[in-house]
Structure 1
Amino acid sequence: MQFELKLPEIFNAADYFVDRNIREGRGEKIAVLCEDRSLTYSEIQERVNQFGNGLRSLGIRMEDRVALLLPDTEIYPQAFFGAIKMGAVPICLNTLMRPKDYKYFLNDSRARVLVVDNSLLNCIDPVREDFKYVENIIVVNGKGAENDLAFSEMISQQPPDLEPAPTSPDDACFWLYSSGSTGQPKGTVHLHHDMVYASETYGKQVLNIRENDICFSAAKLFFAYGLGNGLYFPFSVGATSAYLPGRPTPEAVFDMIQQYQPTIYFGVPTLYGYLLEQEGEMNGLRLCISAGEALTPEIFKRWKERFGLDIMDGIGSTEMAHIYISNRAGKARRGSTGQIVPGYEARIVDENFHDVPDGDVGTLLVKGDSAAAYYWNKHDKTKETMMGAWLNTGDKFYRDEEGFFYYVGRTNDMLKVGGIWVSPIEVEACLMEHPAVLECGVVGTPDAENLIKPKAFVVLRESYKPSPELEKEMKAYVKKALAHYKYPRWIEFVDELPKTATGKIKRFELKNGNA
């Protein structure tokens, strides 16, 4: 379905997501809830302006990069939109990485300013002497090294008014780094109109987000998924965001639900699985959203049985800013990723980029105007992935006659067993239906004849213990449910699975024996 976004030639995303709420009379509406603190849209606007003025006082100019290494608190929208409003480009950095990663991010991006929370300075201090371009480090909630600036002191000295920089809808607005599961992370450059496009399509036409919603995202703001969930979707309509600074453990999630009574909850499949293992309630929710990796039919079924709520599974990417295929409220289909989001188009193609018939597996291409402009300093990778108006997701899908999409796996995750393609997702979904399995990952492993066969790494529920008998039982379970050649020849019981920061299983580590 075509969707045309009409924006003026001079357009600043911070003006749209922050200042517009003031102009439309929502200045006293609560924008952010965090721990025992709450800020209205007027208070957010004032601090956005002060931070933008603070950057100007440091000599930051339009299109300069400003890196953000922050937990989810009320500071995030202030720094993110403050940088955008004065014309700079914020870069959302993953808070779960290591010092060497931050050295790479900051030198690759050439960011001139780093805004970092005091709790994360230990990740910066070992490599700060290696930063080639960082001129100022601004510390939130404390004071760092001698020449670092304190965030609170910096903004307190700045005026509360700031005119938006005269950017265009097609100027660089913010960066996100890809997870780097197949190489070095890539700086993904998004434009000023991208967040608006995602808000007008998925935000309004799938979530039906409205002013009285309270949004809580277990996925953090530095993820593409979390940034929409917890920041620009609620800000697009003057809704409220509830922030959890710490880890989204099941206990913490249930506490957030009880404390803030959100109406929309955004999670990932792994966390949905762990929540089902704990005591707690999900009262007050109208929507539960999942993305990040495929939601198994078993988790969907058990969630519905326990809480009476469908999980609306969807798929998005860093490159497309947010979700472009999704289930709908009241029409969620178990095992399916859903249907195309209005405003986006999708094709499933073979190795020659010819469309395949419904029911056939191929590579998913997607098209929509929230797509990133390019990867920073990755020309070949940009050409490989961003094929004109179409983006090559690298994901294997098939589509049924009703337009529902089904995820099969990543292109490089598919297994060829006995000359026949096997999806690890299908085998994992089958194993997840066994009562002993909490989560699992399936990869290809060579047998004694050096032929590839499926191997499963399984995390058991607390009430089960590893044993040869249980392994034999699980193999028989898969043989009965799926074609014989798909069953895992080996099952290794592990305490946890290696995952990316977005919750995706690191299959390449499982292949290398790093469970």
Structure 2
Amino acid sequence: MFDTLINRIKELSQKQPDKMAAAFKAEQLTYQQLMTKIKAIGAILAEQNVKKGDRVLFTALSKPEMIAAYLGVQYCGAVAVFLDKNATVESISFVYQDTDAVLLLTDKPLKGIDSQINIQSLKKLYHADTDECSRYKEISYIMPEENEIAELLFTTGTTGKPKGVILTYKAVFNILKNTIEGIGIREDERVLLPLPLNHSFALRVLRAVLYQGATVILQNGFTFAKEIENNQTTYQCTGLAVVPASIETIARQMQGQFAEIIGKFRYIEAGAGSLTIEQRKRLVKLLPNTTIYNTWGSSESGGALFINVTEIADDAQKIGALGKPLSEIKVRVLDESGNEIQSDRDHPGRMSLKGDMQMAGYWNRKDLTEETLKDGWLLTSDMVYKDADGYVYMLGRADDIINVGGEKVSPIEVENIACEYPHIRECACIGVPDPDGILGFVPVLFIVVKDNLYSQEEMHTYLAQRMERYKLPMHYVPVQELPKNRMQKLDRKTLKKMWEERGAESLMNPVIQAILTRRSIRKFKDAPIPKDVLDMILQAGYYAPSGHNMQTWRFTVIQDKEKIARLKEAAVTTSKQHNVYCYGFENPACLILISNDDRNHNGCQDASCAAENIFIAAHSYGIGSVWLNALMTLRNEEPVKSILDEFGIPAKHTVWCMAALGYPLAEGTLLAKKKDVIFYV
């Protein structure tokens, strides 16, 4: 059986014309509307002399217009070439020239781009009105031959120049068919897709959902978890496609609401990387009514190995598997000479695949094609082994495996074990030259610390109890964050460069670590803060810089539970009456009210400096905190005024900060951070 996505949408536009095919925020597109757009774009391009086999580039925006443009290009017989929406002028120019393209569809400002490049507005093409479209001669859709080129996916090559993966219509069809089968996508699904649409993972999900006659909900990235919640509320999404790293981002932002919000999805597919064993266990436990899938795939093969994590969660071995090939996909494990071997944990090899979903080769790269496609098999760089049931287990990329004195160490295995240590957020293992020149290479572990309870000695002991000695990291390097690409996949090459430049030296120190790992904590354990610790925390506030050295501040410490409850109730009630925000906090060990004389014009700044010192000092002791600023505008409002007077706070003092402190009951929320905020001039 062979079919195309356009042919299927054509059928669906008649079978279910009013069903929603795609949506982005409030914009919706039915199957009939989508087909109309596809035909119109195809006709306009044909009128502009875009012919069968011509290459057309376009910016892959996560919007319905991109779907229509992609399929409109193929409707007139041209080859679709996807570009990252953030692609540089240099990258776009290279791809345009490399493919000998005839057209670039984009609305992105491209300062300095070659004037010879034919550019048209993607938005204008999509929004062409009925009168405008009527001027163009309607063209019929001609079913392509299965071995004709459908699209080119450009990925980063080893030389830094993008390399184009050639996908035929046969490959595209089998990739979408494999995704439908591997995940079990149904026609009533509403799948949320917060991924860039130039990426092979996002594209295969998009194609599979539309081919099934289901609905795809587009979202521009996963930086803000609130967007996922909004889309879930608006569209009642049943499926979610994400990369593993994004799950951590979402979980940290949603905190206690993660299970409630994400648990509404029928299934989650994690692709473009493998979930760690710790992630898999946690997701299955947190989301009992959501099926968790993990998929291995590549631009060259689409999704090829699938695993239902929920089904195998209780199997101590299989929970670490990469996945299992579908019935029509063959997997072999090869030795260094290219011969098939019977593999196991101690005898891994390079994975080779064969199936109708694989690429036809690399565009204009005959040498690389011959290296990768051998006798009909697609050779990968992944070191794997198989078990008796056909499950495949990943040890890492061939050039990432660490040869320690003849013993092979899998960085993924080290990372999976290390990630179970409770005081780190994530980690990455690489091999570096043995400084003694005896073992060849030794493991080094880069870590992102979760909280200030992290101890290198404790972690080393933890790992020593769980792995062989030769696998133990020689060095532990704390970093603020791990380098990742746009799809949030770990960038080990950058880690190796970091090691070459700095070695085991880390820019991280206890003070920086305390600052970077601090989060606002609102829920606290029922445990007092020792007096000597609290005194030291208050000293940190007292010794903060003060404007003009006036030091007119006052620190009022409240530890009595009844007094805390009374002030909280008064603050919350009065805030509502005056439309002031007073976010909640539960069961703090103490409140610290930082006030300052109104005659001190730097009072707010002084209080801010003191508060930040207090928070950092508290965090260094493993104590959580949160700043509540409602009282700064309620000083003279009842019943707050009477309570503050009772505490002896002078009438001419403004309470700039109410700080709640205590031992955390749950991890604090990591708020979304805008990236481009630092400018050197």
For normalisation by structure 2, the TM-score amounts to: 0.68
Distance change in 2, residues 1:154/1:111 (3 Å): farther
In the alignment, which residue of structure 2 is the partner of 1:353? 338
Structure 1 contact 314–327 (Cα < 8 Å) conserved: yes
Matched residue type, 1:414: I
Corresponding residue to 2:191 among 211, 215, 223: 215
Distance change in 2, residues 1:139/1:449 (3 Å): same
Matched residue type, 1:456: L
Q: Aligned pair count? A: 483
In the alignment, which residue of structure 1 is the partner of 2:385? 398
| CA shift digits 1:442-473 (9 cap, x unpaired) | 11122422442111111222x337xxx72222
Rg comparison, structure with higher value: 2
Is 1:187 the counterpart of 2:197? The answer is: no
C-alpha distance in structure 2 between counterparts of 1:188 and 1:385, whole Å: 11
C-alpha distance in structure 2 between counterparts of 1:276 and 1:227, whole Å: 25
> Residue 512 of structure 1 aligns to a residue in which SS?
helix
Matched residue type, 1:452: F
In the alignment, which residue of structure 2 is the partner of 1:66? 56
C-alpha distance in structure 2 between counterparts of 1:410 and 1:233, whole Å: 28
Is 1:464 the counterpart of 2:452? The answer is: yes
Is 1:270 the counterpart of 2:260? The answer is: no
- More off after superposition, 288-297 vs 244-253: 244-253
> Residue 173 of structure 2 aligns to a residue in which SS?
helix
In the alignment, which residue of structure 1 is the partner of 2:570? none
In the alignment, which residue of structure 2 is the partner of 1:318? 299
Structure 1 contact 364–393 (Cα < 8 Å) conserved: yes
In the alignment, which residue of structure 2 is the partner of 1:145? none
Residue 329 (structure 1) shift:
7.0
C-alpha distance in structure 1 between counterparts of 2:222 and 2:250, whole Å: 14
Corresponding residue to 2:17 among 27, 32, 45: 27
Distance change in 2, residues 1:454/1:251 (3 Å): farther
Is 1:172 the counterpart of 2:149? The answer is: yes
Is 1:54 the counterpart of 2:35? The answer is: no
| CA shift digits 1:204-239 (9 cap, x unpaired) | x2222221011112332211110011x210111110
> Residue 197 of structure 1 aligns to a residue in which SS?
helix
Distance change in 2, residues 1:164/1:415 (3 Å): same
Matched residue type, 2:494: E
Residue 277 (structure 1) shift:
2.3
**Structure 2 counterparts to residues 46-445 of structure 1, below 5 A:** 46-116=36-106, 118=107, 120-121=108-109, 124-126=110-112, 128-129=113-114, 134-140=117-123, 151-153=126-128, 157-159=132-134, 161-180=138-157, 183-203=160-180, 205-229=181-205, 231-279=206-254, 280=258, 281-308=261-288, 309-320=290-301, 322-328=302-308, 330-332=310-312, 333-359=318-344, 360-445=347-432
Distance change in 2, residues 1:177/1:151 (3 Å): same
Structure 2 contact 5–173 (Cα < 8 Å) conserved: no
| CA shift digits 1:68-91 (9 cap, x unpaired) | 113211111100000001001111
Structure 2 contact 183–269 (Cα < 8 Å) conserved: no
Matched residue type, 2:452: Y
Structure 1 contact 288–312 (Cα < 8 Å) conserved: yes
Distance change in 2, residues 1:96/1:342 (3 Å): farther
> Residue 97 of structure 1 aligns to a residue in which SS?
coil
After superposition, the CA RMSD in angstroms is: 2.2
Is 1:482 the counterpart of 2:467? The answer is: yes
Matched residue type, 1:177: F
C-alpha distance in structure 2 between counterparts of 1:85 and 1:150, whole Å: 15
Unaligned runs of 5+ in 1: 1-5, 141-148
Residue 182 (structure 1) shift:
6.2
Structure 1 contact 113–137 (Cα < 8 Å) conserved: yes
Distance change in 2, residues 1:69/1:27 (3 Å): same
Distance change in 2, residues 1:405/1:40 (3 Å): same
- More off after superposition, 449-458 vs 176-185: 176-185
> Residue 486 of structure 2 aligns to a residue in which SS?
coil
Residue 17 (structure 1) shift:
3.5
For normalisation by structure 1, the TM-score amounts to: 0.88
Distance change in 2, residues 1:106/1:31 (3 Å): same
Distance change in 2, residues 1:251/1:14 (3 Å): same
Residue 419 (structure 1) shift:
1.8
C-alpha distance in structure 1 between counterparts of 2:99 and 2:391, whole Å: 38
> Residue 481 of structure 1 aligns to a residue in which SS?
coil
In the alignment, which residue of structure 2 is the partner of 1:510? 495
Q: Percent identity?
A: 24
Residue 416 (structure 1) shift:
0.6
| CA shift digits 1:24-66 (9 cap, x unpaired) | x111111011101111000001111111112112221111111
Residue 507 (structure 1) shift:
0.8
C-alpha distance in structure 1 between counterparts of 2:187 and 2:467, whole Å: 46
| CA shift digits 1:323-342 (9 cap, x unpaired) | 11111375244211221112
**Structure 2 counterparts to residues 449-460 of structure 1, below 5 A:** 449-450=436-437, 451-460=440-449
Unaligned runs of 5+ in 2: 313-317, 502-681
Structure 2 contact 421–462 (Cα < 8 Å) conserved: yes
- More off after superposition, 486-495 vs 404-413: 486-495
> Residue 189 of structure 1 aligns to a residue in which SS?
strand
C-alpha distance in structure 2 between counterparts of 1:156 and 1:460, whole Å: 60
| CA shift digits 1:138-169 (9 cap, x unpaired) | 242xxxxxxxx665348862249541135211
- More off after superposition, 451-460 vs 381-390: 451-460
